């Protein structure tokens, strides 16, 4: 292969846009040609520089909520809409608030079948972990239970128990929308010391209440129960006893 031709194909090589045959031909040329090799190195170094050093501007906190409020939705009863215009909603720029929870799109597709408890556990652990990655913890960042609860019920068909348990050592941080094992779910976020607790809740209409069930998976403690047609999963790396206490407090509300 001539240098001219190789040069023209180098960008396609670094953009993974060359077929295997051309890719091989260019690669072989480059190993024998110092000039083209230097060229390739430059292209690659620019690509690497942009990919790793160009600042990524994440959506400011609250933008997701503002967009959610802006999109027309005719069927929501007025009471749950009016609060959206309340000043409390214009929460300020704290670093914690993320654009949106890590909604796993693939879950949209698999939502059909009924899954076993284990799959649910895997799903809530996955969501818990994703939620703690930078900026993805909360959609609505506030310790005000009167803001979190209506925010969630305006967006979901459940109205889970939300209470600030600060006095009991579990301050409320916020809430977000999530998608757990095929259910749209509320995630209410609490903190205990440095640990985050995600409380997932989704509607299970007509199902009987259950007591607490405790589990440990992949280093996370989980407490699950059902109450008033809502399934709850509390997930955290706090100690099992503390999570049990937390679950009791939430269930008592």
Nearer to other proteins, 50 or 193 (CB): 50
Q: How far apart are CA 243 and CA 223, in angstroms?
A: 7
Quick one: how far is CA 219 from the chain centroid? 19
Instruction: Report how far residue 206's alpha carbon sits from residue 241's, in angstroms, rounded to the nearest whole number.
Output: 30
Q: Which is nearer to other proteins, 48 or 88 (CB)?
A: 48
Give CA–CA dist 13/24, Å, rounded: 10
Three-state DSSP at 97 gives strand
For tokens 């913890």, the residue is: 137
DSSP lists the bridge partners of residue 197 as 190, 236
CA 131, CA 198: separation in Å to the nearest integer?
8
Work out how close the CB of 176 gets to other proteins at its nearest, in angstroms, rounded to a whole number. 10
86 is a site residue for other proteins (CB under 8 A): no
Per-position x/- string for 190-229, each x denoting binding to other proteins as judged by CB under 8 A, each - no binding = ----------------------------------------
- Gap between the Cα atoms of 81 and 164, Å rounded: 22
**From 24, 76, 90, 110, residue interacting with other proteins (rule: CB under 8 A):** 76
Quote the distance between the C-alpha of residue 26 and its chain's center: 41
Q: Closer to other proteins at the Cβ: 170 or 179? A: 179
Give me the least distance between CB of 161 and other proteins, in Å please: 22
Interface with other proteins (CB under 8 A), residue from 1, 25, 84, 99: 99
Closest CA to 127 of 197, 182, 178, 59: 178
* 90 lies in the site for other proteins, by CB under 8 A: no
Work out which of 2, 24, 67, 79 binds other proteins, going by CB under 8 A. 67
- The CA-CA-CA angle for residues 80, 124, 90, to 5°, reads 35
Q: State the nearest-atom distance from the C-beta of 15 to other proteins, in Å.
A: 7
Considering beta carbons, is residue 66 or 217 the nearer one to other proteins?
A: 66
End-to-end Cα separation, the chain, in angstroms:
74
Q: Would you give the binding string for other proteins spanning residues 102-141, x where CB under 8 A is met?
A: xx-x--x---------------------------------
Q: Which of residues 151-170 bind other proteins (CB under 8 A)?
A: 155
Position 55 contacts other proteins (CB under 8 A): yes
Can you tell me the distance from the alpha carbon of 40 to that of 240, in angstroms, rounded to the nearest whole number?
55
Positions in the binding site for other proteins (CB under 8 A): 7, 11-12, 15, 17, 35, 38-39, 41-43, 45-51, 53-60, 63-64, 66-68, 70-76, 99-100, 102-103, 105, 108, 155, 177, 179, 184
């Amino acid at each position: 292969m001539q240098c001219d031709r190789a040069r023209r194909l180098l960008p396609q090589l670094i953009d993974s846009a060359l077929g295997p045959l051309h890719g091989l031909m260019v690669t072989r040329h480059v190993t024998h040609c110092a000039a083209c090799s230097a060229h390739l190195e430059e292209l690659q170094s620019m690509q690497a520089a942009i990919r790793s050093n160009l600042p990524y501007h994440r959506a400011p906190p609250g933008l997701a909520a503002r967009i959610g409020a802006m999109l027309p939705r005719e069927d929501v009863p007025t009471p749950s809409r009016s609060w959206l215009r309340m000043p409390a909603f214009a929460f300020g720029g704290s670093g914690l608030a993320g654009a949106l929870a890590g909604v796993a799109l693939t879950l949209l597709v698999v939502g059909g079948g009924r899954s076993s408890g284990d799959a649910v556990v895997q799903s809530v652990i996955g969501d818990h972990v994703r939620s703690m990655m930078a900026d993805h913890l909360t959609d609505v960042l506030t310790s005000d239970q009167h803001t979190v609860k209506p925010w969630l019920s305006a967006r979901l068909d459940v109205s889970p128990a939300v209470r600030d348990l600060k006095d009991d050592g579990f301050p409320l941080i916020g809430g977000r929308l999530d998608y757990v094992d095929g259910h749209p779910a509320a995630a209410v976020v609490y903190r205990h010391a440095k640990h985050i607790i995600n409380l997932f809740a989704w509607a299970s209409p007509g199902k009987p209440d259950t007591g607490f069930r405790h589990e440990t998976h992949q280093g996370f403690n989980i407490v699950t129960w059902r109450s008033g047609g809502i399934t709850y999963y509390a997930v955290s790396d706090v100690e099992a006893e503390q999570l049990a206490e937390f679950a009791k407090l939430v269930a008592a509300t």
